[in-house]
């Protein structure tokens, strides 16, 4: 899945719920998955939102893979446009992944992350300016 398609899928899911739930989902996605180099399958995000809204659903018989591969990566490179909170998020993921990824893999992940941080900023102030460059 491309980063653009992944971001669009997340955006659609986040827009379909309340701002409070979207904010919590963004933080959970960031803290548990994306900052650790894992892109959670949108089906799992959809299930998390349903649970948070109080809609308990039956899981399918065969679950999809939890993580997905992002290819090709984001071409976003305007790190200089980040505010302090966004830079902090980038540093957090760099610290968590610097021992596991090569320099080029880490740079690509940071580009992908920056694209997602800007999306998450629409819903949660932890990720910086709301709606800027999103």
Six-digit token string for 17: 């719920």
pLDDT score, position 74: 63
**pLDDT digit string, tens, across residues 82-127:** 778 888 888 888 888 888 888 888 888 888 888 898 899 899 888 8
In this predicted model, what pLDDT tens digit does every residue of 17-57 receive, in sequence order?
999 999 999 999 999 999 898 999 999 999 889 988 888 76
Number of CB atoms found within 10 A of residue 71's CB: 9
pTM above 0.85, yes or no: no
Enumerate residues 6+ apart whose C-beta is below 8 A from 78.
Answer: 114, 133
């Amino acid at each position: 899945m491309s980063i653009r398609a992944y971001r669009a899928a997340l955006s659609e899911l986040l827009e379909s719920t309340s701002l409070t739930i979207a904010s919590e989902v963004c933080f959970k996605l960031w803290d548990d998955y994306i900052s650790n180099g894992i892109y959670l399958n949108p089906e799992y995000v959809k299930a998390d939102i349903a649970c948070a809204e109080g809609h308990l659903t039956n899981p399918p018989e065969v679950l999809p893979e939890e993580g997905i591969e992002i290819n090709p990566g984001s071409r976003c490179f305007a790190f200089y446009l980040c505010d302090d909170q966004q830079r902090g998020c980038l540093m957090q993921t760099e610290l968590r992944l610097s021992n596991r990824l090569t320099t080029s893999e880490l740079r690509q992940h940071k580009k992908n992350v920056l694209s997602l941080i800007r999306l998450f900023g629409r819903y949660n102030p932890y990720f910086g300016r709301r709606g800027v460059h999103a």
